[in-house]
Amino acid sequence: MTGVSRRRLFGMTGGALAIAGAGAGAGYFTGRQGEPAQVEPFRGAHQAGITTPAQDRMHFVAFDVTTTDRGELVDLLREWTQAAERMTAGLEAVENGAVGGVAEAPPGDTGEALDLPASSLTLTIGFGPSLFDGRFGLADRRPPALADLPHFPGDNLDPARSGGDLCVQACANDPQVAVHAVRNLARIGFGRVAVRWSQLGFGRTSTTSRSQTTPRNLFGFKDGTNNLKAEDTAELDQHVWVQPGDGPQWMAGGSYLVARRIRMHIETWDRAPLTEQEAIVGRTKGSGAPHGAAEEFAPVDLKAKGSDGEPLIADNAHIRLAAPERHGGARMLRRGYNFTDGSDGLGRLDAGLFFVCFNRDPRTQFIPVQNLLAKKDAMSEYLEHNGSAIFACPPGVQPGEHWGQSLFA
Amino acid sequence: MTGVSRRRLFGMTGGALAIAGAGAGAGYFTGRQGEPAQVEPFRGAHQAGITTPAQDRMHFVAFDVTTTDRGELVDLLREWTQAAERMTAGLEAVENGAVGGVAEAPPGDTGEALDLPASSLTLTIGFGPSLFDGRFGLADRRPPALADLPHFPGDNLDPARSGGDLCVQACANDPQVAVHAVRNLARIGFGRVAVRWSQLGFGRTSTTSRSQTTPRNLFGFKDGTNNLKAEDTAELDQHVWVQPGDGPQWMAGGSYLVARRIRMHIETWDRAPLTEQEAIVGRTKGSGAPHGAAEEFAPVDLKAKGSDGEPLIADNAHIRLAAPERHGGARMLRRGYNFTDGSDGLGRLDAGLFFVCFNRDPRTQFIPVQNLLAKKDAMSEYLEHNGSAIFACPPGVQPGEHWGQSLFA
Ligand code: HEM
Ligand code: HEM
Q: Which helix (H) or strand (E) holds A203?
A: strand A193-204
| Any A CB within 8 A of B186 CB | yes
pLDDT for the residue numbered A101: 79
Can you tell me which atom of ligand 1 is nearest the CA of A353?
1
* Chain-chain contact of A98 with B286 (C-beta, under 8 angstroms): yes
Residues of B numbered 116-155 whose beta carbons fall under 8 angstroms of chain A's beta carbons: which are they? none
Q: What's the pLDDT at A25?
A: 32
The per-residue pLDDT for B12 is: 34
Residue at A200: amino acid letter: L
Contact at 8 Å (CB) between A122 and A25? no
User: Ligand 2, residues B157, B204, B211, B334: which to mutate, most atoms within 8 A of Cβ?
Assistant: B334
pLDDT at A95 exceeding the cut of 60: yes
* pLDDT tens readout for residues B125-176: 999 999 999 899 999 999 999 999 999 999 999 999 999 999 999 999 999 9
pLDDT at B24 over 50: no
Fill in the DSSP letter of residue B363.
T
Q: Do A175 and B277 touch (CB under 8 A)?
A: no
Q: What is the mean pLDDT of chain A?
A: 90
- Output A134 or A262, whichever has higher pLDDT: A262
Q: How many CB atoms lie within 10 A of CB A409?
A: 9
> How sure is the predictor about A37, in pLDDT bands with cuts at 50, 70 and 90?
low
∠ Cα B50 B116 A219 (to 5°): 105
| pLDDT at A65 exceeding the cut of 60 | yes
d(CA A58, CA A52): 13
Nearest to B112 among A112, A220, A277 (CB): A220
With residue B350 as reference, give the H or E element that holds it.
strand B349-359
Tell me the C-alpha distance between B249 and B109, whole Å: 36
Is pLDDT of A184 > 50? yes
B192 Cβ under 8 Å from any chain A Cβ: no
CB contact under 8 A, A216 and B274: no
Output B13 or B303, whichever has higher pLDDT. Answer: B303
Report the phi/psi class of residue A203: left, alpha or beta, with left for phi > 0 and alpha for psi in -120 to 50.
left
Share of chain B above pLDDT 90, in %: 81
Dump pLDDT digits (tens) for B355-373.
999 999 999 999 999 999 9
- Lining residues, ligand 1, CB within 6 Å: A 217, 219, 221-227, 260, 262, 264, 281, 283, 300, 318-319, 322-324, 352-353, 355, 366, 369-370, 373, 383
Determine the pLDDT at residue B7.
37
* Band (A210; pLDDT cuts 50, 70, 90): low
Q: Indicate whether B281 pLDDT > 80.
A: yes
> Is B383 touching ligand 2 by the criterion CB < 6 Å?
yes
Q: Do B200 and A340 touch (CB under 8 A)?
A: yes
Between residues A10 and A234, the one the model is more confident about: A234
Predicted confidence at residue B160, as pLDDT, reads 95
pLDDT tens digits, one per residue of B308-324 = 999 999 999 999 999 99
Q: Please report, for chain A, how many H helices and E strands are present, in that order.
A: 9, 9
pLDDT tens-digit series, residues B33-78: 444 568 999 999 999 999 999 999 999 999 999 999 999 999 999 9
Which range among A193-202, A205-214, A272-281, B110-119 shows the weakest confidence by mean pLDDT? A205-214
At B345, is the pLDDT very low, low, confident or very high (cuts 50, 70, 90)? confident
Contact call for A98 and B7, based on CB within 8 A: no
CA of B255 vs chain A CAs: smallest distance (Å)? 25
**Whether A273 and B221 lie within 8 Å, measured CB to CB:** no
Q: Which chain A residue shows the shortest CA-CA distance from B34? A: A33
Q: Is the pLDDT of residue B97 over 90?
A: no
**pTM metric for this prediction:** 0.92
* For ligand 1, atom 34: residue with the closest CA: A322
CA pair distance A183, A187, nearest whole angstrom: 6
Partnered with residue B167 across adjacent β-strands are B62, B126
Is it the case that residue B342 has pLDDT exceeding 50?
Answer: yes
Find all residues with CB under 8 Å of A90, minimum gap 6, and list them: A3, A4, A5, A6, A9, A24, A37, A39, A116, A117, A118, A119, A121
pLDDT at B224 over 90: yes
* pLDDT for A358: 98
**Cα-based distances in Å from B36 to B23, B26, B31, B52, B116:** 11, 8, 5, 15, 14
Task: Tell me which residue has its CA closest to atom 27 in ligand 1.
Answer: A370
User: Does residue B211 carry a pLDDT above 90?
Assistant: no
B258 Cα–ligand 2 center, Å:
14
Residue B320 CA to residue B300 CA, distance in Å, equals 9
| Stronger pLDDT, B232 or A59, i.e. the higher one | A59
Q: Which residue has the higher pLDDT, A400 or A101?
A: A400
Within an 8 Å CB–CB cutoff, is residue B216 touching chain A?
yes
Pocket test for ligand 1, best of A204, A219, A263, A318 (most atoms within 8 A of CB): A318
The tens digit of pLDDT for each residue in A145-161 reads 999 999 999 999 999 99
pLDDT in the model for residue B325 = 96
Atom 15 (ligand 2) nearest CA: B226
pLDDT at position A11 is: 33
Task: Provide the shortest C-alpha distance from residue B252 to chain A (in Å).
Answer: 32
Nearest 5°: CA angle at B207, between B195 and A4? 105
A1 alpha carbon – ligand 2 mean position (Å): 27
Closest Cα to residue B111, out of A216, A145, A333, A339? A216
C-alpha A322 – ligand 1 centre gap (Å)? 7
Give the residue-averaged pLDDT of A180-184.
97
User: Which residue's CA is the closest to the ligand 1 atom numbered 31?
Assistant: A322
- By the CB < 8 Å criterion, does A34 face chain B? no
Q: Cα(A162)–Cα(A354) distance, rounded to whole angstroms?
A: 12
Q: Given CB atoms, is B194 within the 8 Å cutoff of chain A? A: yes
Chain B contact probe: residue of A92, A349, A386 with most B CBs at under 10 A? A349
Ligand 2 centroid vs B310 CA: distance in angstroms?
22
Which residue of A257, A270, A291, A319 sits with most ligand 1 atoms within 8 Å of its CB, as the best mutation to test the pocket?
Answer: A319
Question: Looking at residue A204, what is its pLDDT?
Answer: 84
- ipTM, two decimals, is 0.89
Q: Which residues are CB-neighbours of A192 under 8 A, at least 6 positions away?
A: A65, A66, A67, A72, A73, A76
SS (H, E, C) A313-352: CCCCCHHHHCCHHHHCCCCCEECCEEEEEEECCCCCEEEE
Determine what percent of chain B is predicted with pLDDT higher than 70. Answer: 90
DSSP for A2-28? Answer: -SS-TTTTTT--HHHHHHHHHHHHTT-
Q: For position B18, what pLDDT does the model report? A: 35
B230 or B21: which leads in pLDDT? B230
For residue A345, name the pLDDT band (cuts at 50, 70, 90): confident
Q: What is the pLDDT of residues A289-334, one digit of tens each?
A: 999 999 999 999 999 999 999 999 999 999 999 999 999 999 999 9
Which pLDDT score, from 0 to 100, does residue B37 have? 64
Please, are residues B173 and B122 in contact by the beta-carbon 8 Å criterion?
no
Higher pLDDT, A15 or B91: B91
